[in-house]
Amino acid sequence: MIMRGRYRIPPANALLAFESAARHGNFTLAARELGTSQSAVSRDISRLETWLSARLFERSRAGATLTDAGKRFHDAVLSGLAAIRHGAAEASELASGEQVVIACSHEAAHSLVMLRYGTLQRALGENVRIRILTYHDHLKNLPAEPVADILLTWDAAAAAPEDRVAAVKEEVRPVCSPAYAATHERTLAGPVAGWSELVFLDLLRPNEGWATWEDWFAAAGHPAGTPRRLGLDSYAYVLEAAAADTGIALGWRHFIEPLLEAGTLVALGQGYVEFDRAYYGVLTAKGRRKPLAQRCLDLFGRVD
């Protein structure tokens, strides 16, 4: 390997191949992750071992295990890559000018943040970049880079009162398409006890804290029979299925009002059922150091 310049270090592709192989304990899995061949990974690591004059892996049919020298080098590579990643995130943020990073679930991004995006942009200024990071299920999959300034969550108990606002109060009611409402007009005009023949659209997976049909039944009444449930993977799909005449969905006020105004969905029941819960905007440790993030958080408490 020919090294030029001030820093005599191996090529980046060799370091990435080594890090991936060390993490997986397998050259084939490393190649799959890096989008290359097993022979290319093996070749990069062999050249790296020659360059270092040290054996980094013990190879076997079961995989590859780091030697003591490999473990020492792996720690150094991880530290270096983390520093580069952090520096790249900071440089990107500075290069893009002022920005606010909002982290939330896919459902909240689709049905809440994007509905307010234009209003937030106008209030913060056209020179401010609003970036949305989405995660699945819960915070375990929250994207790490760049670190969020504001987190939208049901769990705000640990946040100081000045670091959180209630972005959405939980107010729900059933909704469906105009065509579905017309087809089942007589049933829907009657009490909930007679709604057993309807299709209830629901989420397949547990959610973060949203009200469920059972919560609404407890407040508005239960169907006398067992209605059919149709489960979908996301709340956005639930609303789309309702708009496609498939059944009735449980609609959150701030999410469904634009669809009601457009006539895509119609409201059912005797009004909204209110719960003593809210979906919060919370400042992260990074956000607390940014006046711009505080301004954005305040807007979440005022923008409808």
Q: 7 near 80, Cβ under 8 Å?
A: no
Q: Can you give the three-state secondary structure of 95-148, one letter per residue?
A: HCCCEEEEEEEHHHHHHHHHHHHHHHHHHHCCCCEEEEEEECCCHHHCCCCCCC
- Structure-token pair, residue 192: 């909930």
Structure tokens at 166: 């209630």
Q: Give the tens place of pLDDT for each residue, 140-164.
A: 445 555 578 999 888 888 888 889 9
Dump pLDDT digits (tens) for 100-121: 999 888 778 877 788 788 889 9
Query: Which helix H or strand E contains 9, and what residues bound it?
Result: none
Using one digit for the tens of pLDDT, what is the confidence trace for 196-220? 999 999 987 666 667 889 999 999 9
Please tell me which residue, 272 or 277, carries the higher pLDDT value: 272
Q: What is the pTM of this model?
A: 0.57
Which is nearest to 209 in space by CA: 257, 173, 254, 169? 169
